[in-house]
A and B are shown apart, each in its own frame.
Chain A
Amino acid sequence: MDTLVAQLQRQFRDYTISLYHQGFLDDQFTELKKLQDECSPDFVAEVVSLFFEDCEKLIGNMARALDQTGNVDFSLVGSSVHQLKGSSSSVGAKRVKGLCVTFKECCDSQSFEGCVRCLQQVDIEYKSLKAKLQDLFNLEQQIVQAGGRIPQVDI
């Protein structure tokens, strides 16, 4: 008969591991976790939310640039992709980063269809990651409220 805390902790662990295994997150995320301590208890949350804001902004920029049919500024798109790639690699958003690489190639080759397709994929991807991370943070809060400790997950 598991306690609630134990149950939640197990849930949290399993979920985290699944995120890694599915390729949503990579080691960089673990590094971020390491930086969270008493001085900055919400460091990861802050960085992640900033990332998602950044994503939103950049994707918006790219969409607008790609909407200029016939006069697409691929260098602008490319620089935005570059930014996104940097951001995603900083937080450990593995899938997003991978998509950015592909996106960059499309930009370099100035393939409009490729860029549009990649943009869509990036959009989907970042949103799904955002949802998943939200779930993860909710689990954490539940554990804390239940009086437990957030377990250390070794991948």
Chain B
Amino acid sequence: MMEVCNCIEPQWPADELLMKYQYISDFFIAVAYFSIPLELIYFVKKSAVFPYRWVLVQFGAFIVLCGATHLINLWTFTTHSRTVALVMTTAKVLTAVVSCATALMLVHIIPDLLSVKTRELFLKNKAAELDREMGLIRTQEETGRHVRMLTHEIRSTLDRHTILKTTLVELGRTLALEECALWMPTRTGLELQLSYTLRQQHPVEYTVPIQLPVINQVFGTSRAVKISPNSPVARLRPVSGKYLLGEVVAVRVPLLHLSNFQINDWPELSTKRYALMVLMLPSDSARQWHVHELELVEVVADQVAVALSHAAILEESMRARDLLMEQNVALDIARREAETAIRARNDFLAVMNHEMRTPMHAIIALSSLLQETELTPEQRLMVETVLKSSSLLATLMNDVLDLSRLEDGSLQLELGTFNLHTLFREVLNLIKPIAVVKKLPITLNLAPDLPEFVVGDEKRLMQIILNIVGNAVKFSKQGSISVTALVTKSDNRAPPDFFVVPTGSHFYLRVKVKDLGAGINPQDIPKLFTKFAQTQSLATRSSGGSGLGLAISKRFVNLMEGNIWIESEGVGKGCTAIFDVKLGISNESKQSGIPKVPANPQHVNFAGLKVLVMDENGVSRMVTKGLLVHLGCEVTTVSSSEECLRVVSHEHRVVFMDVCTPGVENYQIALRIHEKFTKRHQRPLLVALTGNTDKSTKERCMSFGLDGVLLKPVSLDNMRNVLSDLLEHRVLYEAM
């Protein structure tokens, strides 16, 4: 461009200078006027958002026309043609129109533009607010996450220490604490003891009294409370020169007692014990406790309480279970010891049973044999005493063995069919000798409706009756003894807890043994049936016996589904022993009274057996002789009683005498033979051969001292059986 010189003197004329300046300015204005719209267009094209394009176009047009005006102005400085003037006028007119339109347009636009600005400000504020809120939510969510994690950690274990330790660790981590501590109440409840800390591995165990105001303040509310860092509960470490201790917060942790832990009814926390949790922010950090952090702490404290109570329950149940296991083990040991003891006792009893019975049997057997030999009276007395004592001992052994088996419950009744009437008579026969010596008459009354053949344990029933009757004889000094047996009906007197119901094939036998002897004090009656107990009177104590008799009898009676009791009106007034037992009724009316005739007789070897046959009838004498000879006996025959008496000797083991001939003389011979042979072992066995074996014949034979009755004619097998039986048992009552 033209250089503007700084010389002031005009090289040109002055008005030419002015014109030149105008000329230059117009030129620059035109350039600016033309470049501004270009710039506008360029930038508007660049930004697509500008909403007022029409305005820009207007503006552009306005500027262009102004520029054009000024440009054209350049030619008006010199003389110009009419065309130029026309163009100039047109340009000016256009410019005027456009500028007026623009001015009018701006009136509309500018308020809009201004309001845009306000909206922008408003939005910015809103955005800032939202930012703030989002920050809050994020923090809360984080807190919640921390709590969940903490809770999970805490509740994942049931061990109390782990729970508490984990709590402190997690809290420390989450909240970035400097120190975290837990104070637990002592057993007395008067002090708080520092139990757990976060940083210190082995905290110094010191206590603070529970009644401090700061502690009361914390315990009084369920919220986390800010406390002073200088309070005793917060001063956990020696102050290490920090200038500003971090803020401290404390919260209570309720300790729920097991006994108060009810599912449906949460207990009032005010009466319960609390632990104290103290949390300290790092010193010199200028951090503050935020609300959400406090809430976190409270939630955690509650969770810890729950976890602790669960742990307490678990501890309790584990303890109970351990206790039970211990007891179980102890019981098991005791049971095994008891079993061992029982086994040992059974072994001992079995051994004793066998080992002691063998010599006992030898003693008894040999003493009996000794009794059969010739003895002086003193010797006989001694032998009898030996026999009596050893029998007593054998009975005692049996009693003890029976009793232990009875108590074990291992004793079983041996059921069989037997003759009840015979049983009673046998018992009486056994007792009679002693009773006769003591001059006590015994009577037996059997009820007419008493069945003859019954099913039951014959041996044990006899034992019971013997025991009771024996006691009656033992304890009576004078008076008589009566034994009554009857079929009992339900309306008879019985102890109130016992009901008698006779069923079809069974009946209840009642036996009453009444004596007029010493009697028993009614108070002692319950003791009678206990083992080894004896009534204390001196007279009875000397009579021996183990005291087991009644106890055993009671157990046998119980086994037979019966009952036994004793009635007495007092000392010296005698007593009555009564027992009921259940027996079965036998269907067989015809029961052999013989001890079983074995199918294979044991005693087949009759070789050389010396027998005597007395028969007046030659034929039958011959037949009988043939029979006996065939069996191997050495037979002597006689045909009359006198001859028989003459011939019979101790060598003859059996004498068969025919008693068919009517007349009593035949039986007399039996008596004569009895007289002839005073010693029992020498006397031959006497068997009557008769044509009929009705009851009267049998009874007559018995009364004359015959050992057996045979029905003529005798078959070979019969004779064989009879002989073997006779020689084995020394008695024979019937053979058909």
**Interfacial residues, chain A to chain B (CB-CB below 8 A):** 27-28, 31-32, 34-35, 37, 39-40, 43, 46-47, 50-51, 54, 79, 82-83, 85-87, 89-92
Contact = CB atoms under 8 A, between A and B. Distances in A.
Given A82-B660, A82-B662, A89-B712, A35 B619 contact: no
10 contacts: A35-B626, A35-B627, A35-B716, A37-B630, A40-B629, A40-B630, A47-B622, A86-B619, A86-B691, A90-B617
A32 B626 contact: yes
A12 B622 CA distance: 26
B630 A87 contact: no
A34 B713 CA distance: 14
Contacts of A89: 620, 691, 712-713
Given A47-B626, A87-B620, 12 more contacts: A32-B623, A35-B626, A35-B627, A35-B716, A39-B629, A40-B626, A40-B630, A86-B658, A90-B619, A90-B622, A90-B713, A91-B619
A90 B660 contact: no
Nearest to A57: B618
Contacts of A91: 619, 623
Given A47-B619, A87-B620, A28 B629 contact: no
A75 B624 CA distance: 26
A40 B635 CA distance: 14
A58 to B, nearest CB: 10
Given A31-B715, A34-B716, A86 B660 contact: yes
Nearest to B627: A35
B661 interface: yes
Contacts of A83: 616-617
Given A32-B623, A82-B662, A54 B618 contact: yes
Query: Which of A34, A39, A43, A90 has most chain B Cβ within 10 Å?
Result: A90
A138 B288 CA distance: 152
Nearest to B624: A90
Interface string B709-736: 0001101100000000000000000000
A75 to B, nearest CB: 9
B605 to A, nearest CB: 17
Contacts of A31: 627, 713, 715-716
B622 A34 contact: no
Contacts of B618: 50, 54, 87
A91 B622 CA distance: 10
A154 B725 CA distance: 29
Contacts of A82: 660-662
B623 A47 contact: yes
A39 B630 CA distance: 8
A123 to B, nearest CB: 17
Contacts of A40: 626, 629-630
Q: Which 5 A-B pairs have the closest CB atoms?
A: A87-B619, A90-B620, A90-B623, A35-B626, A86-B617
A109 to B, nearest CB: 16
Contacts of A32: 623, 626
Nearest to A79: B661
Nearest to B631: A35
A85 B661 CA distance: 11
Interface string B596-621: 00000000000000000000111110
A50 B661 contact: no
A55 to B, nearest CB: 9
Contact of A86 (B626, B629, B712, B715): B712
A85 B619 CA distance: 11
Contacts of A86: 617, 619-620, 658, 660, 691, 712
A83 B618 CA distance: 9
A85 B662 CA distance: 13
A7 to B, nearest CB: 31
Nearest to A34: B716
Nearest to A83: B617
A35 B712 contact: no
B619 A54 contact: yes
Interface in B76-121: none
Contacts of A90: 617, 619-620, 622-624, 712-713
Query: Which of A46, A51, A86, A91 has most chain B Cβ within 10 Å?
Result: A86
Nearest to A48: B619
A54 B630 CA distance: 23
